[in-house]
Amino acid sequence: MELNSGVSSTVSGIKAGLFEKTKDVLNYIPIMEKEFSRVESIIGNELTPEAAYFYYDFYEMALELREILKDTDAFRQDVVQKELIERTVNVCQELEDDKLWSLLTGVVKVDHVDRGYLEKKIKDKTILKILRALKSSFR
C-alpha cells in the first residue's frame, strides 16, 4: 500500500520499547468515547470540528498523553507533517501497528511545535480512530 510505504521512513527508528506504553494509551478509548457520547447526546448529533473545539474538554487528557508519549524514541525523530497525519488517519484501519504508533507519536511531535494540536486531534476524534485501529491490530 502506498500510504504504508510513505510512512515507513518515520517508523524506522521506533524500537520495541515503544509498545510497552500500549496499555496506558489504550485506556483512553473508553474515556474519549464516553465524553463524545455525552456531548453528542446533549447536542443531538456529531459536532463539527469547529464546535468540537469548544464543547469537548480534553485539556488534561492531552497533557497526560503528551507525557506518556514524549519520551519515546519516535519523539526524537523529525516532526511528522500534519498533511501526512491528515491523509493517513482515514485509512488507519489498514495500517500496521508500528505505523499507527508513528501517527500517534507524530501528533505529539507536531503539538510540540504547534501547541494545542494534540487536543484538537483528540476533539476531532483522530486520536480515537488511531487508538481503535491500534487495538484492532493486536487481535
On whether the CB atoms of residues 21 and 70 are closer than 8 A, the answer is: no
Closest CA to 25 of 104, 95, 102: 104
Q: State pLDDT tens for residues 30-77.
A: 999 999 999 999 988 888 888 888 889 899 999 888 888 775 554 444
- 519523539: which residue's cell? 75
Residue type, 120: K
Q: State pLDDT tens for residues 90-119.
A: 888 888 888 888 888 888 888 887 888 899
Report pTM: 0.63
On whether the CB atoms of residues 91 and 83 are closer than 8 A, the answer is: no
- 98: CB partners within 8 A, 6+ apart: 11, 14
Closest CA to 18 of 97, 82, 109: 97
DSSP string of 26-68, one letter each residue: HTHHHHHHHHHHHHHHHHSSPPPHHHHHHH---HHHHHHHHHH
Number of H helices, E strands in the chain: 9, 0
Higher pLDDT, 112 or 13: 112
